[in-house]
Structure 1
Amino acid sequence: MAADPPARGPARPPGAATGPARPAGAVAGPAATAPATGRAARRGRRTGWWRRKSLRFRLTAVASAVLAVALAASAYVLVGVLGRALIAGTDDAIHQRARQVVSLADAGRLPVEMTSPDGVLVQVIDAAGRITHATPGTDRLLPLLDAGERATAIARGGAGFVDGGPYGIPHVLRVRVLSADQGRTVIAARPFSEVQTSVNTAAHVLLVGTPLLLVLLAGVSWVIVGGTLRPIAALRRGAEEITDTARSRRLPVPESRDEVHSLAVTLNDMLARLEKADARQRALVSDAAHELRSPLASIRLQLEVALGHPEGQDWRETAEGVLEDTMRLARLAEDLLALARLDERGGALARREPVELDRLVPQTVERYGEAVTVRVAPTPGDAIMVTGDALDLGRVLVNLVDNALRHTVSPVVVELRTEGTGAVLTVTDDGSGIPEADRERVFDRFTRLDSARSRDHGGAGLGLAIVRETVHAHGGAVTLEDAAPGLRAVVRLPLS
């Protein structure tokens, strides 16, 4: 056994370091990551180029690519099927001709001069290998197949190809061999050039016609896609014309009842909702500014009078007046903030937690003392439990009680009971009540009846609006009913 070749270079002592060690799992340096980064950048540029193209171009390109693949596959299949069909027809023709000659040979009725009206070449070979009969155009001395090839062809039982050049026939021949009586053999052949010509002609036609058909179909796709996307372009132009000064404009709706029609209808509905929300916000800002102007003007007037005549001014009375207007501003700011939070949540609850109404109601009205009477109907079993936000529900009750106290003469009555699967909370006063025609209108923001406007502490008209939106967020409903005399606010909430 040959010894191992000596190591090249100076020997290193055992344990010597061969260079700075790379920790396991360390990432390769910039040289290793550069090719991957380059490939990713090129792929990103190609993808970005495709995405920057118009939707019409991309749809037409994809449709044309699919059509090109389909046409190419169809042309390939067509040429293949045509070739096989022509070969099968040729094989049938030479087989029929060979069988006919075999029948004549077996019957001893072969003509001296054979003809080939169908273009099939025939040779009849006896047991000694001599050609006894042949059609014009074939060699009368040399068989197309020797004895071994004839035996193989008979055993195979099918047609084969033979080069006709050595026999003075400038074509490739399709040959079939059958055996006859007395050891004779019949060879039938037909030039294959007809099949080749037909297949080549079909291939050339498809080679020229397929690109032309593809161009035609691509053009038709371009026109159809353009017509399909035309309503979308109209939607885009319509959207460009809508500005903050023309909010009532709507997008054009196509006549066809397709997806674009549904999109246009949906967008117009969205614009209507946005217009309604915008009008609501503008009305809120306008009403809020109107409500803010009155206490601010009062504060300014009191301060200007006090500063203009300081010697005859009762500063305590001035401070009380300014404090009263300031508290009015604070209540308005709190109401506006509550409405803004309700609008921001879109009717959803800030918190969802179990709330015991039979405990919340007495605790909330406890601060009113003898001005409010609480009646909680006893319920067997569990407490009166709902799901929601305890703070918001407490604000609902406070707003209803404050509103009732501004109009009542006797103590306000607060009742809580259950009805079926819901809890019913009522706040009843014996004031002048509200006409039935105005009982829905008072739930609108900044809506106050004339009797309320004449009061100094009538509020800004936001209390009932906050009540309704909060109750709706809890899945309930609030209505106003005639208490004869007075008014009854009824709040219905689903039990947990």
Structure 2
Amino acid sequence: MAEFPAARPSAWWRRQGLRFRLTVVAVAVLAVALAVSASVLLSVLDRTLLATVDESVSRQAHTVRVQADAGTLTTPITTHDGTIVQVIGADGRITHVTYGADRLVPLLDGRGRARALEDGRATFVDGHPYAIPAQLRVVVLSADRGQTVIAARSVSEIQTSVRTAGRVLLVGTPLLVVLLAGASWMIVGRTLRPITALRRGAAEITHTARSRRLPVPESRDEVHSLATTLNDMLARLEEAEKRQRALVSDAAHELRSPLASIRLQLEVALGHPQGQDWPETAEGVLEDTLRLSRLAEDLLALARLDERGGVPARREPVDLDEVVRQTAERYAEVRLAACDPVEVRGDAMDLSRVLTNLIDNAVRHTASKVEVALTADGILTVTDDGPGIPEEDRERVFNRFTRLDTGRSRDEGGAGLGLAIVRETVRAHGGTVHLKDASPGLRAVVSLPPSL
């Protein structure tokens, strides 16, 4: 039987919920911090209490040494904090002690006393050989006339205090970790509640409820910003879908007329082949076919602009004056009034299409001549002396499939996409385009940023 490899801990961890992972990480970090803090606390407590004992023992040892130097020692030596004191003479015999101290055996032998004097610090001594059931903290001082003062104090109270504090921390720290784990679970849950609301709101948005929006929390935090951004994205997607549906509907409507005309002409011709003027029929079908071809090219251009998201196909240096000059030379009705050298960054073919659409529109409606001008600041104008466009309609004509009911409405095969392509292309190149009155006629003004 085949054996499946055991799941790795990392894979199991990634499968857990965000709330669980955040809580575990927070509790783990807290547990480590509390453990380190407890260890440091016990260490500091032990050292502090030990330093207090050392200071008390050293003070008693100095007091006894002063008395030994002055020869005023009495037996037994009196202390008020339980410190044990032994005074050893030059011959190694104990001469004075505190009450209850051993009068025969020193707490430190000669070698131990010499080492303690050399170190100058307190040292530990086991008190069991001296009938003291605890560790002793011993300080050794040298007095006059070869005398040595040994002062010692039991550290059992310190050990008891440290052990008691350790037990309290051993029991209290896990309880604190458990309490904080519960609090973290609740806090993380409350923090993630708006995200859960966002998820549920997103699940409720379907193709039949596109206009719905995600719930936005009242708090001005990152979740609020996320919800606002997602709602803005939904609004843009809804607007893009509306534009796409409108484009499909308008395109279908525009395709219907030439297709119906082609079908009608062919049906009539086939129904009466003897009396049909076939060259005239072919010309009519060709005219409608050319109209379909122009519409397909315009729709493809708009689709490419939408696909690029408002970015030109290429960003390379373009001599705009050369584009203007070459395009204007193809029209007998166009007069080039000015053509200053201008370099822009973008796609030369797209910019040529912009100028071609503007000139085609102007030539279609001009009474005599069309004037094209390009200035050094990147301003391109195309002016005709035709019927013009009312001021209230000059912005609307840039919408897709928009055609007016005036003298500039039904042109020869126009579908209302030319100016829409112009605006989208100019915007992709970082420029602007608008229409203004030329008195008489209409002037299209394109502003493109020159290259620096």
TM-score (norm 2): 0.91
CA contact 1:406–1:458 (8 Å) conserved in 2: no
Q: How does 1:300-315 map to 2 (within 5 A)?
A: 300-315=263-278
Deviation string, structure 1 residues 195-237 (Cα, Å, up to 9, x no partner): 2111222222222222222222222222222222221121111
Three-state SS of the structure 1 residue aligned to 2:416 is coil
1:345-368 CA-to-partner distances (Å, cap 9, x unmatched) read 122222334444444334334444
Q: Aligned-pair distance for 1:285?
A: 0.8
Q: Match of 1:187, SS?
A: strand
- Provide closer, same or farther for how the CA distance between residues 309 and 82 of structure 1 changes in structure 2, counting only shifts above 3 A: same
In the alignment, structure 1 residue 438 sits paired with structure 2 residue 396: no
2:149 aligned counterpart, secondary structure: strand
Secondary structure at the aligned position of 1:105 is classed as: helix
Residue of structure 2 aligned with 1:392, choices 347, 350, 370 = 350
Q: Deviations 1:57-80 (Å, cap 9, x if unpaired)?
A: 222222222222222221111111
**What residue identity is the alignment partner of 2:258?**
P
Aligned to 2:417: 462
Quick check: 2:45–2:162 contact (8 Å CA) kept in 1? yes
Alpha-carbon contact 2:211-2:238 (below 8 Å) kept = yes
d(CA) in 2 for partners of 1:313 and 1:92?
Answer: 129
SS at structure 2 position matched to 1:494: coil
Alignment match of 2:159 (pick from 196, 219, 224):
196
Aligned-pair Cα RMSD in Å: 2.5
Matched, 1:345 2:293: no
Tell me the residue number matched to 2:437: 482
Deviations 1:217-266 (A, max 9, x none): 22222222222222112111111111121111111111111111111111
Separation in structure 2 between the aligned mates of residue 116 and residue 474 of structure 1, nearest angstrom: 97
Amino acid at match of 1:294: S
Of 62, 81, 88 in structure 2, the residue corresponding to residue 125 of structure 1 is: 88
Distance 1:483 1:194 in 2: 105
Distance of 1:109 and 1:391 partners within structure 2: 116
Confirm or deny that 1:377 pairs with 2:377: no
The corresponding residue for 1:99 is 62
Match status 1:208 vs 2:171: yes
Is it true that 1:274 corresponds to 2:229 in the alignment?
Answer: no
The answer to whether structure 1 residue 416 and structure 2 residue 373 are counterparts is yes
- Partner Cα separation in structure 2 for residue 437 and residue 359 of structure 1: 34
Q: Which moved more, 1:386-395 or 1:332-341?
A: 386-395
CA–CA distance in 2 between the matches of 1:486 and 1:164?
Answer: 117
- Where 1:136 maps in the other structure, the secondary structure is coil
The 5 A counterparts of 1:158-177 are 158-177=121-140
How far does residue 281 in structure 1 lie from its aligned partner after superposition?
A: 0.8
Give the whole-Å Cα distance in 2 for the aligned partners of 1:112 and 1:470: 112
> In structure 2, what is the Cα distance between the partners aligned to 1:384 and 1:156?
91
SS of the residue 1:450 aligns to: coil
Q: Percent identity?
A: 71
Task: Describe the superposition over 1:365-420 as per-residue Cα deviations: whole angstroms up to 9, x where unpaired.
Answer: 44443xx13224365xxx4444332322222222222222332232x32322314x
Task: Tell me if the contact between 1:414 and 1:425 (Cα under 8 Å) persists in the aligned partners.
Answer: no
Q: 1:165 to 1:273 in 2, by over 3 A?
A: same
- Residue number among 115, 137, 155 corresponding to 2:100 in the alignment: 137
Name the CA distance, whole Å, in 2 between partners of 1:152 and 1:484: 115
Q: Which of 209, 218, 222 is the equivalent residue of 1:259? A: 222
Q: Work out whether 1:295 is the aligned partner of 2:250.
A: no
SS, match of residue 139 in structure 2: strand
Distance 1:357 1:416, change over 3 A: farther
> Does structure 1 conserve the Cα–Cα contact (< 8 Å) formed by 2:122 and 2:140?
yes
When normalised by structure 1's length, the TM-score is: 0.83
Q: Is the 8 A contact 1:358 1:416 kept in 2?
A: no
1:79 to 1:324, Cα distance in 2 relative to 1, 3 A: same
- For 2:406, what is the secondary structure of its paired residue? helix
Following the alignment from structure 1 to structure 2, what is the Cα–Cα distance between the partners of residues 106 and 81? 37
Distance 2:144 2:322 in 1: 119
Deviation at 1:49, TM superposition (A): 1.7
Distance, in Å, in 2 between the alignment partners of 1:260 and 1:400 is 47
Q: Secondary structure at the match of 2:199?
A: helix
Distance of aligned partners of 1:156 and 1:388 in 2 relative to their CA distance in 1, 3 Å threshold: closer
- Given residue 441 of structure 2, which amino acid in structure 1 is its aligned partner? G
Q: Which amino acid in 2 is paired with 1:387?
A: R
Q: Distance in 1 between matches of 2:321 and 2:46?
A: 92
Alignment of 1:14-93 (within 5 A): 45-93=8-56
DSSP-derived class of the 2:206 partner: coil
One-letter amino acid of the structure 2 residue matched with residue 417 of structure 1: L
Q: Tell me, in whole angstroms, the C-alpha distance in 1 between the residues paired with 2:119 and 2:328.
A: 110
Q: What 5-or-longer segments of structure 1 have no aligned partner?
A: 1-37
Determine helix, strand or coil for the equivalent of 1:478.
strand
Q: Distance in 1 between matches of 2:363 and 2:388?
A: 12
Q: Deviations over 1:317-337 (max 9, x none)?
A: 333222222211111111100
Equivalent position SS for 2:375: strand
